[in-house]
Amino acid sequence: MPRHLLSLLDWSRDEILDALTLAQSLKRKTKAGACPKLLEGRSYALFFHKPSLRTRVSFEVGIHQLGGNSMILTEQDFKIGERESVRDVAKVLSRYVDGILIRTFAHEMVVALAEHTEVPMVNMLTDFSHPCQILADALTIQEHLGQLENLRIAYLGDGNNVTNSWLNLACRIPLDLRIGTAPETQPEAALVKATQDCGVSQVRVCHDAREAVADAQILYTDVWASMGEKEQARQRGQLLQDFQINQNLLECAAQGVKVMHCLPAERGREITEEVLEGANSIVLDQTENRLHAQKAVLAQLERWHRGL
Ligand code: CP
Ligand code: NVA
């Protein structure tokens, strides 16, 4: 059975930290014009059932930098499970490509594909999680704060796929994670409890933005209505208006707090223009690190798959 990255829970603490170390090294080498060709001759199928800028471009460029080939497949090409079964898609692709990467709606479909593939799979975002984003964010935090463990991280806004991946990371790396959100938009209680029960991190969900943000070293947010939920934007806007990251809220956080957003952002909703563009914002470093973190993910999966 190949190893995958469907959620961060698929990898151990050491495997996550190894990937971050490899990402740092690949970033240095790439900037020196000497990215190693770790995926020479390898081919990857990338499914996009939702829009993407960062994920699509960073994976395609990253695979190219490592010497591999990528091909994009959309629902216009075929719908998985409609023209042929999930099992057949998985088995057929496994005879052609060295990895299957997918961005789609239902996480269960990705899990079902992974049950039948004979090559590694990567989750490029589902309604449930976005592990590649959080790995790149962890790399960015290490670069800016010199450490990842035991930092106070405040996630504000909708309890969504990005929040869930923060919770997954908190099961592997000790964090002081506070989620500030409305009662109606909080992440699934069972996932929060399972994360707390892991005993690795301190995890708290609170409904007061100032309490969530107090002394935080990282302030993180994401859109209030994710892809596939945009018709709920108005209602979410009302529920979450107190959880906007703005200059007033920034003042409750630790001195020098770093502001993060996975992007795309809706300026004036979950975050003000002033803060997104301000001196505390490290959003473009997050974006850049998608490239290097994902190269490390593919290289690590390839190494495991070849038994190296
Ligand atoms: N952050 C992120 O995944 O961006 P895209 O949706 O543009 O890929
Ligand atoms: N939660 C957002 C993340 C986009 C990168 C979404 O799923 O649309």
Q: Is the pLDDT of residue 179 over 90?
A: yes
Say how far apart CA 135 and CA 129 lie, in whole Å: 12
Instruction: Tell me what pLDDT residue 77 has.
Output: 87
Asked if 164 contacts 128 with a C-beta cutoff of 8 angstroms, the reply is yes
Shared domain for 104 and 167, answered yes or no, is no
Shared domain for 85 and 157, answered yes or no, is no
- Would residue 169 count as lying in a domain? yes
Asked if 144 is an active-site residue, the reply is no
Q: Is the pLDDT of residue 99 over 90?
A: yes
| Nearest Cα residue to 130 out of 233, 27, 17, 227 | 227
Q: Which atom of ligand 2 is nearest to the CA of 222?
A: 1
Buried b / exposed e across 15-26, counting CB within 10 Å, b at 16+? bbbebbebbbeb
Q: Is the pLDDT of residue 131 over 90?
A: yes
Asked if 164 contacts 191 with a C-beta cutoff of 8 angstroms, the reply is yes
Instruction: Tell me what pLDDT residue 171 has.
Output: 98
| Nearest Cα residue to 112 out of 132, 126, 98 | 126
- Would residue 54 count as lying in a domain? yes
CA of 283 to the centre of ligand 1 (A): 12
pLDDT tens-place string over residues 48-89: 999 999 999 999 999 999 999 999 999 998 889 999 999 999
Shared domain for 299 and 275, answered yes or no, is no
Shared domain for 157 and 282, answered yes or no, is yes
Residue type (1 letter), 41: G
pLDDT tens-place string over residues 278-295: 999 999 999 999 999 999
pLDDT tens-place string over residues 1-45: 899 999 999 999 999 999 999 999 999 999 999 999 999 999 999
CA of 161 to the centre of ligand 2 (A): 7
- Would residue 1 count as lying in a domain? no
Shared domain for 194 and 89, answered yes or no, is no
Q: Which residues pair with 56 in a beta bridge?
A: none
Shared domain for 119 and 138, answered yes or no, is no
Shared domain for 138 and 260, answered yes or no, is yes
99-103 vs 43-48, strand pairing mode:
parallel
Report how many helices (DSSP H) and strands (DSSP E) the chain contains, helices first: 12, 9
Ranges assigned E (strand) in 251-302: 258-261
Burial of 41 (0-12, 13-18, 19+ CB in 10 A): exposed
- Stated as kind and residue range, the H or E segment containing 266 is none
Residue with CA nearest ligand 2 atom 3: 226
Sheet containing 69-74: which strands, arranged edge to edge? 69-74, 43-48, 99-103, 121-123
Which CATH number goes with the domain that contains 108? Answer: 3.40.50.1370
pLDDT tens-place string over residues 204-229: 999 999 999 999 999 999 999 999 99
Buried b / exposed e across 181-213, counting CB within 10 Å, b at 16+? bbeebbbeeebbeebbeeebbebebbbebeebb
Shared domain for 111 and 20, answered yes or no, is yes
- Give the pair of three-digit tokens for residue 2: 């190949």
Shared domain for 161 and 294, answered yes or no, is no
Give the pLDDT mean for 247-265. 98
Instruction: Tell me what pLDDT residue 229 has.
Output: 95
For the chain, give the percent of residues with pLDDT over 70. 100
Domain range for 71 is 8-129+290-305
Asked if 290 is an active-site residue, the reply is yes
Give the pLDDT mean for 253-271. 98
Say how far apart CA 56 and CA 72 lie, in whole Å: 9
- Would residue 2 count as lying in a domain? no
Count of all residues that appear for the chain in the document: 308
Full-prediction pTM beyond 0.95? yes
- Stated as kind and residue range, the H or E segment containing 249 is helix 247-250
- Give the pair of three-digit tokens for residue 154: 């405040």
CA of 300 to the centre of ligand 1 (A): 22
Shared domain for 104 and 153, answered yes or no, is no
Instruction: Tell me what pLDDT residue 308 has.
Output: 82
Shared domain for 138 and 280, answered yes or no, is yes
